[in-house]
A and B are shown apart, each in its own frame.
Chain A
Amino acid sequence: MAATGEQQGREYLERYKIPELLHNLSALLLYHRPERPREFLIHALERVKLAKLTDAEYPYLVDESNLDAMFEMLDTASQGYITLVQYKGALKTLGLSTQDLPYEEDATITLEIFKKEVKKLLQESWAIYQS
């Protein structure tokens, strides 16, 4: 009985991606360190809910300027592009999936593509949560 109970619990968590959601929420909490964490969480969750219904923004931890800075750090020689390996590394640092990337081995990624792709992936990572 205990085993099935545990299995059911795990399946439930898997289905609704609860661990990932909690992970993201705690990252938000620790980064912003609000005075009233409970209210902050309620607010963040409500934003997620709203963003699912409309096109509003999810409570991202990284914003555009962060992505700019990140790209600059990777592109040390200011060539205007980074390699696929560097791109994958960046995605991993951001906690995003590096599977199914539509690029060749020797592809180069410019700042515009980088920002667009990362944003898309970030949005996808939040969109999997069901209200």
Chain B
Amino acid sequence: MDATSRPLRVPREMGIYAEKHELFQLLQNMLEGLLIHKPDEPIQYMISHLKQDNDHVPRICILGPPASGKTTIATWLCKQLNTPCITQETLLEETLELTKEVTAFQERGQKIPNALWANLIQERLSNVDCIKQGWILEGFPENRDQAWMLQLAGITPRHVVVLYAPDTVLIERNLGKRIDPSTKEVYHTTFDWPSDPLVQQRLVEAEGISEQETAKHLLEYHRNFPRVFQIYQQILKLINADQPCADVFSQALTYVQTWCRSAAPFTPRILFCGPPGSGKSLQAALIAQKYSIVNICCGQLLKEAVADKTKLGELIKPYFDSRWPVPDNIILKLLTDRLNRLDCMTDGWVLHGFPRDLDQAEQMVKAGIIPNRIFFLNLPSESVMERLAQRMIDPVTGERYHAMYKPAPLPEVQARLKQNPKDTEENIRICLETYYRHAGDLEEFYDNAFYINADQDPYVVFEYIESCIVKPLPHKS
């Protein structure tokens, strides 16, 4: 849309709805499919595409040099994600239409052409299990031609995991490869030795594990891999295979479960919760400054209303004077008015200081205020005390000091420092108690919140918050 035209008032519900149901991704995936396959009957294609409902299934390639542990990682991932695993061997064992052709090539001792491989894989991937549950392709494509063939057939992986390790490690590792001839399971003399003595006896050395042969395979791999790397560099993740299997696996799993950032329009609606002194206002100010969104502190908003002598302000004033808490419905009214203004609607907002209990949170949802990123800043009570109870102010210059972080420069200044009556230990303890009384409920209410240790440098906290805002929310399966 033209940014210079007057701002378009889109009803807030539409944005929230589109975000909740990921309409952008839904339509994007559909368009992607249309562009790849260019069907002659687009509407029919769209209907069947929507019926497949497989936007979120994994589509993974696992590549790597021989003996880097591709098979192990692939099998573990398959178990974890419940997807079929496809390798060149499994393809040959299955009875697909093209299998005969492939075996014919093999019997004649010829190399199977790349196009045939691609067709075979395409046929396999159009089976129901691959459509519904996704697929993990192991050890394919081996070279650029195969990758191109896959692309021509409209097969694009979403994640490519590449294992790497120094050649010497791989050659060494391959020497210990043993195979159980009856179950076809793979064992290793040092890393994965079977406990059953029966199995131990019948193990045989795997084929092609001698140093020369591994070196030959490695050489070929190094020759072909850079081209494959070029094709998939956007979605490729390199993982060092020279570490325990479980570590490699956990890295691979984390990677394949992250989703790439989408171009969907996103207005941040951020909520900070945390005990007093946890740095909510500071973080909100930093975020608001960096992303030019509207920073809303609930207490500040109330004070502004009173100072402006608005109608609502007049209502609030008696509560302020008598030091009673302002009723929820007035706060909510004020907040809704503010958040519905154009700047909040177009740029997004960051809210802190509200809601303080479950009831307020529920009312907020009812009023249509739905944050899309929620952060809990956690801080031990001692740190809160340390941060808040030692703040002092110089009544002469107005300068603020802190006994620990910013001590007064001169003894005479130190002598005339005064403390805000709100900052006494007694007062802070009361505030903390009220916060923790309701914190549990709130944490339960916002089940997709992020938890942050606020007892670190403000910029470390800020960086973490930023990363959470920028990345899409993880999918709940």
Knowing A25-B27, A29-B23, A42-B51, the reply to whether A130 touches B41 (Cβ < 8 A) is yes
Q: For the complex, is B198 an interface residue (Cβ under 8 Å from A)?
A: no
Q: For the complex, is A41 an interface residue (Cβ under 8 Å from B)?
A: yes
Interface size class of A (residues with CB under 8 A): 20 to 34
Q: For the complex, is B14 an interface residue (Cβ under 8 Å from A)?
A: yes
Question: How many angstroms from the CA of A45 to the CA of B51 in the assembled complex?
Answer: 12
Looking at A30-38, A79-87, A115-123, the stretch in contact with chain B turns out to be A30-38
Q: For the complex, is A73 an interface residue (Cβ under 8 Å from B)?
A: no
Q: For the complex, is B46 an interface residue (Cβ under 8 Å from A)?
A: yes
Closest B residue to A49 using CB positions: B43
CB contacts (< 8 Å) of B51 on chain A: these are 42
CB contacts (< 8 Å) of A21 on chain B: these are 42-43
Q: Is the Cβ of A48 less than 8 Å from the Cβ of B43?
A: yes
Q: Is the Cβ of B44 less than 8 Å from the Cβ of A131?
A: yes
CB contacts (< 8 Å) of A60 on chain B: these are none
Q: Is the Cβ of A41 less than 8 Å from the Cβ of B38?
A: no
Closest B residue to A39 using CB positions: B50
Interface string of B20-37 (1 = CB under 8 A from A): 010100110011001100
Knowing A12-B35, A26-B23, the reply to whether A38 touches B43 (Cβ < 8 A) is no
CB contacts (< 8 Å) of B35 on chain A: these are 9, 12-13
Q: For the complex, is A22 an interface residue (Cβ under 8 Å from B)?
A: yes
Chain A 12-65 residues near chain B, CB threshold 8 A: 12-13, 16, 18, 21-22, 25-26, 29-30, 33, 37-38, 41-42, 45-46, 48-49
Output the least CB separation between B334 and chain A (Å): 27
CB contacts (< 8 Å) of A25 on chain B: these are 27
Q: Is the Cβ of A45 less than 8 Å from the Cβ of B21?
A: no
Q: Is the Cβ of B26 less than 8 Å from the Cβ of A16?
A: no
Closest B residue to A32 using CB positions: B17
CB contacts (< 8 Å) of A129 on chain B: these are 42-43
Question: How many angstroms from the CA of A9 to the CA of B50 in the assembled complex?
Answer: 21
Q: Is the Cβ of B42 less than 8 Å from the Cβ of A18?
A: yes
Question: How many angstroms from the CA of A9 to the CA of B47 in the assembled complex?
Answer: 20
Q: For the complex, is B53 an interface residue (Cβ under 8 Å from A)?
A: yes
Q: For the complex, is B260 an interface residue (Cβ under 8 Å from A)?
A: no
CB contacts (< 8 Å) of B38 on chain A: these are 8-9, 12
Output the least CB separation between A13 and chain B (Å): 8
Q: For the complex, is B13 an interface residue (Cβ under 8 Å from A)?
A: yes
CB contacts (< 8 Å) of B330 on chain A: these are none
Chain B 265-320 residues near chain A, CB threshold 8 A: none
CB contacts (< 8 Å) of A16 on chain B: these are 42
Q: Is the Cβ of B44 less than 8 Å from the Cβ of A33?
A: no
Output the least CB separation between A38 and chain B (Å): 5
CB contacts (< 8 Å) of B27 on chain A: these are 22, 25-26
CB contacts (< 8 Å) of B43 on chain A: these are 21, 45, 48-49, 129-131
Interface string of B86-130 (1 = CB under 8 A from A): 000000000000000000000000000000000000000000000
Q: For the complex, is B18 an interface residue (Cβ under 8 Å from A)?
A: yes
CB contacts (< 8 Å) of A48 on chain B: these are 43
Question: How many angstroms from the CA of A15 to the CA of B26 in the assembled complex?
Answer: 22
Q: Is the Cβ of A46 less than 8 Å from the Cβ of B47?
A: yes
Knowing A12-B35, A18-B31, A18-B34, the reply to whether A37 touches B23 (Cβ < 8 A) is yes
Question: How many angstroms from the CA of A13 to the CA of B42 in the assembled complex?
Answer: 10
Q: Is the Cβ of A42 less than 8 Å from the Cβ of B47?
A: yes
Closest A residue to B22 using CB positions: A37
Output the least CB separation between B23 and chain A (Å): 6
Q: Is the Cβ of B17 less than 8 Å from the Cβ of A38?
A: no
Q: Which residue in A26, A30, A38, A131 is a CB contact (below 8 Å) of B41?
A: A131
Output the least CB separation between B48 and chain A (Å): 9
CB contacts (< 8 Å) of B50 on chain A: these are 38, 41-42, 45
- Which residues of A come within 8 Å of B, CB atoms? 8-9, 12-13, 16, 18, 21-22, 25-26, 29-30, 33, 37-38, 41-42, 45-46, 48-49, 129-131
9 closest cross-chain pairs (CB), A and B: A131-B43, A30-B14, A33-B17, A16-B42, A37-B21, A9-B35, A42-B50, A45-B47, A12-B38
Given contacts A22-B31, A38-B26, A131-B42, 9 further A-B contacts (CB under 8 A): A8-B38, A12-B35, A18-B34, A26-B27, A30-B17, A45-B43, A49-B44, A129-B43, A131-B43
What are 27 A-B pairs with beta-carbon distances under 8 A? A9-B38, A12-B38, A13-B34, A13-B35, A16-B42, A18-B34, A18-B42, A21-B42, A21-B43, A22-B30, A22-B31, A26-B27, A30-B14, A30-B17, A37-B26, A38-B50, A41-B50, A42-B50, A42-B51, A45-B47, A46-B47, A49-B43, A49-B47, A129-B42, A131-B41, A131-B43, A131-B44
